[in-house]
Structure 1
Amino acid sequence: MTHRLARLLATRDWILADGATGTNLYNMGLASGDAPDLWCETHPERVSALHRQMIAAGADLILTNSFGANASRLRLAGAQDRVQVLNLAAARLARAEADAAGREVVVAGSIGPTGEIMAPIGRLTEAEAVRMFTQQAEALKQGGVDLLWVETISAAEEMRAAAKAAQAVGLPWCGMMSFEPGGRSVMGVSPPQLATLIDRLPCPPLAYGANCGTGPAELLLAVSGFSAAGCERALIAKPNAGVPRYQDGGLIYDATPEVMAEFAVLARDLGVRIIGGCCGTTPEHLSAMRAALQSRPQGARPSPEAISSRIAALMPDR
């Protein structure tokens, strides 16, 4: 069976993934500290509206509003018994908007970290992590997602557990780690180490890469490190839209649509196949990114110095 994302990767030079879910929902009224995933039941019309806005801005791939909908993270909201219901709702909301788009749009079931530290450093065992991820993945599959989108992971053990969950439910998947400004994840994994891990998994992903953690320049520098391990799978880059600040009752990130458009072109020229944005990336950012990708010709592979200087030149003064 050829999956929808695999078909697009076989026929397209780049695929535009969507922007932020959580930060956009906060700006749509989600209270600080509340779990965005619960809005799939309490405010489904707002979740659907965000999906529509991302598709209208040009997204070829949208994420379900289920990043924190695993039993461990939902326990913080007293909703640990609602994993199946919330993930099913999240998948159905995204699927409905994708199917109504009038063009092919991939629905990716968002799975974030458990929020716990994996053994041997922490107490969460691999078997427990696999169980939690599988519970979430089964509901997302039932709701109609095309694949699983494992993101913002920091530990190799947790990435392996998510891969086993994808294998258990029989869905293709993509995997991303979040890297800090120093170039490693919170748990010390470097980009070359992630690339090596991905190739050795018993159920490797369709694509892998980096998301969140840093702004566009820093994330692209991390992505450039994947080539050091020789892994040739499709790459993903989904950075935050810069650094946030609180303004007019909402979170505003300092990377303008022009900055994110430059990031998108640099990512494409670096060889990234799936390009999007994480925290702070609005439909306006996404629209500028698509316009730049469509209008600007393919360029030479940018050096680390070119990445830093071209992004810095467009960043507003803080």
Structure 2
Amino acid sequence: MGAMRLTDGGLETTLIFERGLELPLFAAFPLVEDDAGRAVLAAYWQPFLDLAESHGVGFDVDTATWRANPDWASQLGYDAARLRAVNEEAAGFARSLGRPSLDVRVNGVVGPRGDGYVSGEEMGAEEAAAYHLPQVRALAAGGVDQVSALTLTYPREAVGFLHAAGEVGLPALVSFTVETDGRLPNGTPLADAVAEVEDRTARAAVGYLVNCAHPTHLDGALTGGPWTERVVGVRANASTMSHAELDAAEELDPGDPDDLARRYVGLVERLPGLRLLGGCCGTDLRHVGAIAAACLS
């Protein structure tokens, strides 16, 4: 992963709770299909790019495609052809945000087949590979530099995703989410999840991330050992609440940006491979700015 890099905060929560947009099914990818939607996305991304430039670090721009897989997109009326097209368009839009003065990497985002807060029905690795392959291919065709699977809830989906990325030939990262006890929603300890994926994939991930969880949820999970060197990124929630509590909440919990930043400093000390810093649900420019100030100064 190289030197420290930044990425954004919680795209969907910012657009819904701070910008007043309606995103059915928490899906941002339809915004890339018209000028008004692209303008909203550009206005969201530009301050984060400015932040990275001010700190002299590289930046990962995500495609707005966390929900752009068949099970979710079909509920919004997308068939396979239109879904492929919107994934390609999202990749092209993300690339258009690049700046000559900034090291920008386009990250193709793949979300879970399920809801991201609970594991639900689990796929086998072969089924997961077949499920995610069309989206990975479309993102590759759109020109992404790498792909990341965010908010995965069980290891076998990660294995399948890596097989799909390997077939396309893209560098890939796996990001798990954890509950307040540091375990994945299906009950697997984070260390065991990383070990299972490493054992079952011939083509290893570039690294692992944790997203959609507060740093306090990792306290019991980071028990040390070589596996922690494979954790290259953290994209934390602003809130300390559990997934169930967040799902039931009617208002956004923005947490404490300064406290979150201090906890990131602790994560940098405990995770020797940590190179990508950003946020997830409830975080915005305030949070990522505080994290950057604390960890990059």
TM over 0.5: yes
- Corresponding residue for 1:233? 230
Q: Distance in 1 between matches of 2:284 and 2:253?
A: 10
Residue type of the partner of 1:63? D
Structure 1: which 5+ runs fail to align? 1-5, 296-318
- Corresponding residue for 1:22? 12
RMSD: 2.5
Residue type of the partner of 1:17? T
- Corresponding residue for 2:149? 150
What pairs up with 1:1-318 in 2 under 5 angstroms? Answer: 6=1, 9=2, 12=3, 14-26=4-16, 27-31=18-22, 33-34=24-25, 35-42=27-34, 43-58=37-52, 60-81=59-80, 82-97=82-97, 99-100=98-99, 102-115=101-114, 122=121, 124=123, 126-200=125-199, 201-212=201-212, 214-219=213-218, 221-222=220-221, 224-225=222-223, 227-228=224-225, 230=227, 232-242=229-239, 251-271=251-271, 272-295=274-297
- How many residue pairs are counted as aligned between the two chains? 275
Distance 1:124 1:78, change over 3 A: farther
Deviation at 1:131, TM superposition (A): 2.2
Deviation at 1:138, TM superposition (A): 1.1
Deviation at 1:152, TM superposition (A): 0.5
Report which structure shows greater RCO (CA 8 Å, sep ≥6).
2
Structure 2: which 5+ runs fail to align? 53-57
SS at match of 2:183: coil
Q: Distance in 1 between matches of 2:95 and 2:127?
A: 29
Identity of aligned residues (%): 26
- Are 2:128 and 2:156, in contact at CA under 8 Å, matched by a contact in 1? no
- Are 2:29 and 2:65, in contact at CA under 8 Å, matched by a contact in 1? yes
Q: Distance in 2 between matches of 1:149 and 1:79?
A: 22
- Are 1:220 and 1:267, in contact at CA under 8 Å, matched by a contact in 2? no
| TM-score (norm: length of structure 2) | 0.84
Distance 1:76 1:243, change over 3 A: farther
Deviation at 1:23, TM superposition (A): 0.8
Deviation at 1:167, TM superposition (A): 0.3
- Are 2:166 and 2:203, in contact at CA under 8 Å, matched by a contact in 1? yes
SS at match of 2:281: coil
Q: Distance in 2 between matches of 1:126 and 1:169?
A: 16
